[in-house]
C-alpha cells in the first residue's frame, strides 16, 4: 500500500531559476521516531511512512526541489545560500484551504550545500520539533513539525559521531527576504517580478503591488517579533534568509527562551556581538525589512519615488512594534487597553525582574498570587510595584490567557535530547504533552526554572 499525499505544487511551476530539481538522498535504515497525528490530519496525509519521510521513496505527485536564496548573515551579505540540506517535496492544501509546503530537512546534499554534508542529527531535529510545536500551541505563527525519522546513519559534528535524523517541516511557504535579495542583487528583474506576484498571490492577496507587499510583511514581522518578546523567545539567528515573507517563525537553530529576565540575553554561541539579543530583536526586524525594501525598490523605474515610499513604510514599523508591545505586555499585566501612560508600570516590573534575576515566565504566570513575590529577593520593592499595579484593577482572565505557564526551557530540551540519543523518548513525550497546553499548569516539575547546575549558558548551531 502506498501512502497518498494530495500534492498540489505551485513553486515547482515557477521558472527553473528559482530552484534545482533533485530527489532526497536515501538513508540506511529509516525508522519513524515521531509523527504528528493532528497536523497530518489537517494536511490530508493518512499515515506515517518512514520511507517517504526519510527521503528514500518519493511519493506520487511530489516535485522535489532545493530552493535558491541569498541572505544577510549577521549583517554581511552572502550572495548565494539556498537549501543546503533541505528538499521541498511539494505543497498540499490543508483542511482550511491554506497552501502548505512539505519539506524534508536533513535529506542530503544539494548544489547549495557548500561545505556541508546535507544532513542533520537527532538533537537539532527534536529541538526544532519541540520548539516549533510549542510556539504553535502558544499561538505564535510558526512552521510546524510533521515527522522526525531516524536515518540509521551517523552524522559527524564537533562532538563526534551522532545519530542522523530527518525532520519534515510544514510551512505556509519557504519564501524568505533572502529569496527576493538574490534576484534583486543579480539584477534579474523578471524573476524578481515573478516572485513578487507569486508572494502576493500566495500570502498577501490584498496587497497592492510591491509596496503593498512590503507593508504587509512589515506589519506581520512587527507582530511576530512582539509575540516572541511576549513569551521570552530569542530566535538567535535573525538573518534575512531566516526571515519569512509569510510572517511565520522559521529556523529553530540556536533559539532559546529566557529563564531569568535579562534584556541583553544571548544564547547563541556564534552571536558574539549580541546582534540577536532578546531586546535587540525588534530593531533587527526593522533592519531585515529595510533589506526587503531595498530588493523591492529595484522593480520601480522611478527609484526616487520608490525609495520615498519604501522608507515611509519601513519607518512606520517602530510605531507598529511599540503599539504591539504595549498591547501584548499590557495584557500580560492584565490591562486590556494599555496606553503610553501604562508603559512605566510595565517597564518598572521588567526592571525589577532584571535587577533581581526573576524568572520571566513564572513571574508573569504568578502575578496576582502570593508566589509572584517569591520570585524577588527584594520583596518590598515588588510589593510597592504590586500596590501601584493593583490600583489599575488588572483583569485576571486576560492575564491567564496571555501568560503561559509553560515554555520549552533550555535545560529540559538538552535533557530531552540526551535521553533521545540514548534511545529514551519518554522525556520528549512528556515535554510535548505539557507544551501542548502551555496556558495550563499541568506538570509542576516542567515549570521549574533551572537550578544553577542546570542552567544552559549557550546554545550551539552544531546543526
**CB 429 to ligand AMP: min, Å:** 26
Query: On the CB side of 455, how many CA atoms lie within 13 Å of its CA?
Result: 9
Q: Which long-range contacts (CB under 8 A, 24 or more apart) does 339-345 make?
A: 342/392, 345/385, 345/388, 345/389, 345/392
Complex with Mg ion: residue 270 or 299, whichever CB lies closer: 270
Give which of Mg ion, ligand AMP, none residue 118 binds (C-beta under 5 to 8 Å, depending on kind).
ligand AMP
Q: DSSP characters for 373-440?
A: GGG-SSHHHHHHHHHHHHTT---HHHHHHHS-S----HHHHHHHHHHHHTT--HHHHHHHHHHTSTTS
Closest CA to 329 of 399, 382, 272: 399
Q: Which is nearer to ligand AMP, 30 or 82 (CB)?
A: 82
Cβ 158 vs Cβ 123: under 8 Å: no
**Contact status: 251 vs Mg ion (CB under 5 A):** yes
Name the residues annotated as catalytic.
Answer: 241
Quote the CA–CA distance of 112 and 103 in Å, as a whole number: 16
Binding mask 242-281 for ligand AMP (x = CB under 6 A): x--------x-x----------------------------
Residue 117 or 414: which CB sits closer to ligand AMP?
117
Residue keyed to cell 515610499: 309
- Strand pairing class (86-93; 99-105): antiparallel
In the chain the first and final C-alpha atoms are separated, in Å, by: 34
Does residue 132 interact with ligand AMP by CB under 6 A?
Answer: no
Site for ligand AMP in 230-249 (CB under 6 A): 237, 241-242
Please choose, from the candidates 59, 53, 64, the residue with its C-alpha nearest in 3D space to the C-alpha of residue 149. 53
Is the Cβ of residue 110 or residue 298 nearer to Mg ion in the bound state?
110
**Least Cβ distance, residue 208 to ligand AMP (angstroms):** 31
Q: Which is nearer to ligand AMP, 53 or 112 (CB)?
A: 112
Residue with cell 526586524: 285
**Residues in region 76-95 near ligand AMP by CB under 6 A:** 81-85
Taking the least distance from each CB to ligand AMP, the nearer of 81 and 331 is 81
The DSSP code for 26 is P
Task: Check binding of 324 to ligand AMP (CB under 6 A).
Answer: no
Among 90, 118, 164, 404, binds ligand AMP (CB under 6 A): 118
CA 394 to chain centre: 31
Strands 144-157 and 71-73: unpaired
Residue nearest to Mg ion (CB): 251
Among 128, 104, 117, 101, which Cα is nearest to 51's?
Answer: 104
Question: Which residue's beta carbon is nearest to the bound ligand AMP?
Answer: 116
Applying CB under 5 A, which part among 92-100, 214-222, 240-248, 290-298 lies near Mg ion? 240-248
Choose the binding region for Mg ion from 158-166, 246-254, 286-294, 304-312 (rule: CB under 5 A).
Answer: 246-254
Integer CA distances (angstroms), 295 to 189, 200, 439, in order: 10, 15, 40
State the binding partner of 253 from ligand AMP, Mg ion, none, CB within 5 to 8 A by kind.
Answer: ligand AMP
Min separation Cβ 311 and Mg ion, Å: 28
Select from 237-245, 256-264, 278-286, 318-326 the region that touches Mg ion (CB under 5 A).
Answer: 237-245
Could you say which DSSP state residue 368 is in? T
The rounded distance, in Å, linking the Cα atoms of 214 and 207 is 9
- Residue 15: name its binding partner from ligand AMP, Mg ion, none (Cβ under 5 to 8 Å by kind): none
**Nearest to residue 345, comparing CAs of 357, 329, 359, 360?**
329
Q: Per CB under 6 A, does 113 bind ligand AMP?
A: yes
Among 142, 242, 288, 375, binds Mg ion (CB under 5 A): 242
- Contacts with Mg ion: how many residues (CB under 5 A)? 2
Binding site residues, Mg ion, CB under 5 A: 242, 251
Binding site residues, ligand AMP, CB under 6 A: 81-85, 112-113, 116-119, 237, 241-242, 251, 253, 463
Amino acid at each position: 500500500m502506498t501512502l497518498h499525499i494530495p500534492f498540489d505544487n505551485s513553486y515547482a511551476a515557477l521558472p527553473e531559476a528559482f530552484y534545482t530539481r533533485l530527489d532526497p538522498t536515501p538513508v540506511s535504515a529509516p525508522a519513524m521516531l515521531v509523527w504528528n497525528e493532528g497536523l497530518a490530519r489537517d494536511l490530508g496525509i493518512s499515515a506515517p511512512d518512514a520511507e517517504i519521510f526519510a527521503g528514500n521513496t518519493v511519493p506520487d505527485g511530489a516535485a522535489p526541489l532545493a530552493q535558491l536564496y541569498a541572505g544577510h548573515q549577521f549583517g554581511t551579505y552572502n550572495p548565494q545560500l539556498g537549501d543546503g540540506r533541505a528538499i521541498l517535496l511539494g505543497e498540499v492544501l490543508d483542511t482550511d484551504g491554506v497552501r502548505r509546503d512539505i519539506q524534508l530537512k536533513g535529506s542530503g546534499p544539494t548544489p547549495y550545500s557548500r561545505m556541508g554534508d546535507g544532513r542533520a542529527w537527532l538533537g537539532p531535529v527534536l529541538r526544532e520539533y519541540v520548539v516549533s510545536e510549542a510556539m504553535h500551541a502558544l499561538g505564535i505563527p510558526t512552521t510546524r513539525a510533521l515527522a522526525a525519522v531516524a536515518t540509521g546513519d551517523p552524522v559527524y559534528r564537533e562532538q563526534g559521531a551522532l545519530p542522523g535524523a530527518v525532520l519534515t517541516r510544514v510551512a505556509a511557504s519557504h519564501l524568505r527576504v533572502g529569496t527576493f535579495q538574490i534576484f534583486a542583487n543579480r539584477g534579474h528583474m523578471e524573476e524578481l517580478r515573478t516572485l513578487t506576484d507569486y508572494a502576493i498571490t500566495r500570502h498577501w492577496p490584498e496587497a497592492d503591488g510591491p509596496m503593498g507587499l512590503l507593508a504587509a510583511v512589515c506589519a506581520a514581522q512587527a507582530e511576530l517579533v512582539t509575540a516572541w518578546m511576549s513569551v521570552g523567545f530569542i530566535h538567535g539567528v535573525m538573518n534575512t534568509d531566516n526571515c519569512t515573507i509569510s510572517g511565520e517563525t522559521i529556523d529553530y537553530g540556536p533559539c532559546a527562551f529566557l529563564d531569568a529576565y535579562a534584556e541583553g540575553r544571548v544564547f547563541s554561541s556564534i552571536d558574539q556581538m549580541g546582534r540577536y539579543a532578546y531586546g535587540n530583536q525588534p530593531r533587527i526586524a526593522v533592519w531585515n525589512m529595510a533589506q526587503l525594501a531595498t530588493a523591492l525598490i529595484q522593480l520601480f523605474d522611478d527609484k526616487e519615488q520608490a525609495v520615498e515610499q519604501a522608507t515611509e513604510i519601513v519607518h512606520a514599523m517602530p510605531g507598529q512594534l511599540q503599539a504591539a508591545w504595549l498591547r501584548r505586555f499590557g495584557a500580560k499585566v492584565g490591562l486590556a487597553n494599555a496606553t503610553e501612560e501604562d508603559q512605566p508600570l510595565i517597564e518598572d516590573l521588567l526592571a525589577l525582574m532584571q535587577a533581581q534575576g526573576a524568572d520571566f515566565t513564572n513571574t508573569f504566570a504568578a502575578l496576582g498570587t502570593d508566589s509572584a513575590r517569591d520570585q524577588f529577593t527584594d520583596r518590598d520593592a515588588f510589593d510597592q510595584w504590586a500596590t501601584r499595579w493593583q490600583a489599575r484593577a488588572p483583569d485576571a482572565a486576560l492575564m491567564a490567557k496571555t501568560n503561559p505557564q509553560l515554555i520549552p526551557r533550555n535545560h529540559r530540551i538538552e535533557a530531552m535530547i540526551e535521553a533521545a540519543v540514548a534511545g529514551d523518548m519518554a522525556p520528549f513525550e512528556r515535554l510535548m504533552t505539557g507544551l501542548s497546553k502551555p496556558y495550563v499548569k499541568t506538570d509542576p516539575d516542567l515549570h521549574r526554572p533551572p537550578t544553577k547546575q542546570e542552567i544552559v549558558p549557550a546554545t550551539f548551531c552544531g546543526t
